[in-house]
């Protein structure tokens, strides 16, 4: 754990991953997918289907960033991932059904403790969304977040999905502060690693009680919820 007094003295802005950190992506998409999968007569677990979907999306995002042949929109990668996952599950589907499922990402709501925690953190820091989502998707999601962020940044600005370091470097540039004045908050290990690799501070929201893993890019803070983060640095 880093020196909390030093962090509170030097930090000016917190950037937040949106999908899975601010909003409950697994729970929200499972709720949406359940009636759809029941209607299709699929007998598997909806939560497992969503896990397949999200893992496939992540893999395709990483391939896109590593190939470095131009940024593919998040929505397009989402369509590919859902279609692949439906094929894998043996579920007949249409393009319209795939688009419907992906569009629900724009309506995901926060984890219960998040709005109050953000309100407390906002008294001391500038709060910014830094997301892999497309600009228009993030704009559409704003009414559902439970908090009005000071700034919203899509990785489209840099042209690489997180955790490519250029996404964090571009975010710091757009925010207009020094890199060490910024802390990235995420529920995903890879996101914290990417932020640290770019020189930012990071806070890992360990909601699932899992080890961070061995890396030279360890987070400055590990907490179990956004409320605990607010307790620590607000």
**Where residue 185 sits, what CATH number does that domain have?**
3.40.50.1000
Structure confidence at residue 213 as a pLDDT band (50, 70, 90): confident
> For residues 226 and 71, what is the distance between their CA atoms, to the nearest angstrom?
31
Same domain, 60 and 168: no
Q: For the segment 22-41, what is each residue's pLDDT rounded down to a tens digit?
A: 999 999 999 999 999 999 99
Taking the C-alpha atoms of residue 70 and residue 73, their distance in angstroms, rounded to an integer, is: 10
Q: Are residues 123 and 98 in the same domain?
A: no
Q: 32 and 18, same structural domain?
A: no
Out of 76, 91, 107, a domain closes at: 107
Q: Distance between CA atoms of 124 and 134, rounded to whole angstroms?
A: 28
Nearest CA among 132, 117, 40 for reference residue 78: 132
For residues 13 and 73, state if they share a domain.
no
- Sheet hosting strand 13-16, strand order edge to edge: 151-154, 126-131, 13-16, 182-186, 201-205, 221-223
**Do 229 and 179 belong together in one domain?**
yes
Which of the listed residues 107, 129, 158 is the one where a domain comes to its end?
A: 107
Query: How many C-alpha atoms does 45 have within 13 Å on its Cβ side?
Result: 6
In the prediction, which pLDDT does 2 show? 78
Same domain, 81 and 71: yes
Is 17 found in the same domain as 52? no
Residue range 147-176, pLDDT digits in tens: 999 999 999 999 999 999 999 999 999 999
* Among 131, 123, 126, CA closest to 25: 131
Q: What is the pLDDT of residue 23?
A: 98
Mark whether 48 and 155 lie in a shared domain.
no
Same domain, 134 and 215: yes
Residues 160 and 224 in one domain: yes
Element (H, E) at 157: none
Instruction: Give me the domain span that covers residue 102.
Output: 25-107
CATH number of residue 51's parent domain? 1.10.150.240
Round to whole Å and give the CA distance between 217 and 123: 28
Q: Pick from 83, 107, 131: which residue ends a domain?
A: 107
Q: What's the predicted TM-score (pTM) here? A: 0.95
Check whether 229 has a pLDDT greater than 80. Answer: yes
For residues 115 and 32, state if they share a domain. Answer: no
Q: Is the pLDDT of residue 1 over 90?
A: no
Q: Which long-range contacts (CB under 8 A, 24 or more apart) does 173-180 make?
A: 175/13, 175/15, 175/126, 175/128, 175/151, 177/12, 177/13, 180/10
Give the model's pLDDT for residue 222. Answer: 96
Q: Check if the beta carbon of residue 57 is closer than 8 Å to that of residue 78.
A: yes
CB 222 within 8 A of CB 206: yes
The mean pLDDT of 195-208, rounded to a whole number, is 96
What total of structural domains would you count in the chain?
2
The string of DSSP letters for 57-115 reads HHHHHHHHHHHTSSPPPHHHHHHHHHHHHHHHTT----HHHHHHHHHGGGG--B-TTHH
- Is 90 exceeded by the pLDDT of residue 11? yes
Residue of 75, 182, 82 lying closest to 130 (CA atoms): 182
Q: What is the mean pLDDT of residues 52-56?
A: 98
pLDDT confidence of residue 58: 97
Residues 37 and 92 both lie in one domain: yes
pLDDT tens digit sequence for 215-225: 999 999 999 99
């Amino acid at each position: 754990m880093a020196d909390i007094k030093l962090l509170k003295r030097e930090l000016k802005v917190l950037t937040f991953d949106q999908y899975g950190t601010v909003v409950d992506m697994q729970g929200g998409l499972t709720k949406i997918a359940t009636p759809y999968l029941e209607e299709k007569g699929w007998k598997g677990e909806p939560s497992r289907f969503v896990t397949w979907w999200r893992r496939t999306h992540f893999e395709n995002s990483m391939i896109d960033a590593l190939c470095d042949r131009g940024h593919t929109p998040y929505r397009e990668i989402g369509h590919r991932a859902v279609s692949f996952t439906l094929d894998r599950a043996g579920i007949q589907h249409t393009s319209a059904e795939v688009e419907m499922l992906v569009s629900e990402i724009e309506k995901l709501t926060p984890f219960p403790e998040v709005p109050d925690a953000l309100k407390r953190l906002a008294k001391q820091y500038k709060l910014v969304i830094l997301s892999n989502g497309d600009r228009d998707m993030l704009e559409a999601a704003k009414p559902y977040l439970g908090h009005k962020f000071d700034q919203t940044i899509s990785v489209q600005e840099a042209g690489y999905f997180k955790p490519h370091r250029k996404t964090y470097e571009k975010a710091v540039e757009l925010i207009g502060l020094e890199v060490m004045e910024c802390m990235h908050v995420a529920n995903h290990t890879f996101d914290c690693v990417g932020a640290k690799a770019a020189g930012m501070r990071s806070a890992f929201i360990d909601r699932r009680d899992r080890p961070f893993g061995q890396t030279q890019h360890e987070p400055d803070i590990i907490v179990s919820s956004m409320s605990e983060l607010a307790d620590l640095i607000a």
